[in-house]
Structure 1
């Protein structure tokens, strides 16, 4: 019965917070007052408050009491895949080059390569109706005796099977900026002299093994990619932890 009661207390206090009956910074009633309000034991009240604290709704100040957290309104949530996010269909991928080499120090450090370990450098172009839409430069750790499968790299989202297999341990980070492209990118994509591009830097890591799987730059004109985000629908995603 106490387990059901403590969850009911949690739901009641959450409801008051979400309806602004308890506002950010407000102090909750004392444990004694909550015991009387909900006809519950001190242990049950403390269990409820602990869960609310763990979920980020309240925080405790020793010697003072429990207070409502201030929600973070500047958190935005968006689902992003640089291939599926294009507003144009990719119907062909052309490999410019696939090389096994000793990478620059920056790449070596990011991929956490062992001493003298090589990397695979892939450069490719994504097309739509024979138009160059995007250019991608990819670095993968090179594993001796493990062949580079060029046929796989001809698919736009070639990492998808890997991502699906490792979904629960995959860690991805993105850095999206607007830059003036290098001469190589400008010429490859037939861009105007002063035409900017999105530069999307992506690092993919196996969180379970700490192995770096890929580091890549993706260049595309803003004409073909738009990025949208919204505050989370679930109020729980707005909390500060």
Structure 2
């Protein structure tokens, strides 16, 4: 199957950047030149260039043209799914609690709400081959009439929990990753009887108006988690 012309323009320019033919700061051929080279309309060329801009390969200066972007050498993209990572995948979940709580001062601050607002608390355990590998806590803003289906919650990822109230594509996500020593409650749930560090992943989800919709904290056993990222 032949690729659309605008995608051929995208891939060809990407290849030239990757192979060093085009270097950071170099000018991209003009829309007219690209149109003549690929036998494409100016609209088609602009569609391809817009993709390159959105993906961070080039930038545009009005009246001057398009140029190769300086790469962000310290920027990595991590694909995160609390049910799967590079070492193992979750094959069983156990729902420990679903309840409506009043937030303490810290949680209210994280969710940017007052302390008299209801919050849904969800606690779960994740298992791999019969071993508890992660202790998972989610806090969702309670909305009147919001369905709480325990069977669905038990196996859902954090974004999926909010999909009934916020379109998945409208969610903005923030991720924080750090190491922590487990407290006695988490040790008990994860069957930890010796010194073992946890990898903690915090997720905060925002709606299209940039308002927090929920906070998730997952505590992984250090011997059952590995996150990987790649530069773009």
Range of TM-score over shorter length: 0.5 to 0.7
Structure 1 position 156 matched with structure 2 position 155: yes
**Superposed counterparts of 1:31-180, under 5 Å:** 54=53, 57=58, 68-85=68-85, 87-95=88-96, 97-114=97-114, 116-144=116-144, 146=146, 148-153=148-153, 155-157=154-156, 159=158, 161-162=160-161, 166-180=167-181
CA distances 1:123-177 after superposition (whole Å, capped 9, x unpaired): 2222345432211122112234546433333x23254645666222122221122
Aligned position for 2:191: 190
SS at match of 1:168: helix
**Structure 1 residue 205: deviation in Å?**
2.3
Judged with a 3 Å threshold, the aligned counterparts in structure 2 of structure 1 residues 116 and 26 are, in CA distance, closer, same or farther, namely same
Judged with a 3 Å threshold, the aligned counterparts in structure 2 of structure 1 residues 13 and 131 are, in CA distance, closer, same or farther, namely closer
* CA root-mean-square deviation: 4.1
Judged with a 3 Å threshold, the aligned counterparts in structure 2 of structure 1 residues 220 and 66 are, in CA distance, closer, same or farther, namely closer
Aligned position for 1:234: none
**Superposed counterparts of 1:189-228, under 5 Å:** 189-207=190-208, 209-228=209-228
Distance 1:121 1:107 in 2: 11
Distance 1:229 1:161 in 2: 22
Distance 1:137 1:103 in 2: 14
Distance 1:78 1:125 in 2: 23
Task: In structure 2, list runs of 5 or more residues that go unmatched.
Answer: 1-7, 37-41
Distance 2:216 2:11 in 1: 45
Judged with a 3 Å threshold, the aligned counterparts in structure 2 of structure 1 residues 69 and 116 are, in CA distance, closer, same or farther, namely same
Task: In structure 1, list runs of 5 or more residues that go unmatched.
Answer: 1-7, 39-43, 232-237
SS at match of 1:191: coil
User: Over alpha carbons, which structure has the higher Rg?
Assistant: 1
TM-score (norm 2): 0.68
**Structure 1 residue 184: deviation in Å?**
1.9
Distance 1:221 1:210 in 2: 32
Range with bigger deviation, 84-93 or 170-179: 84-93
Distance 2:93 2:67 in 1: 57
SS at match of 1:230: strand
Distance 2:148 2:27 in 1: 60
CA distances 1:11-47 after superposition (whole Å, capped 9, x unpaired): 9877755543443355789x9xx99xx9xxxxx9xx9
Judged with a 3 Å threshold, the aligned counterparts in structure 2 of structure 1 residues 54 and 139 are, in CA distance, closer, same or farther, namely closer
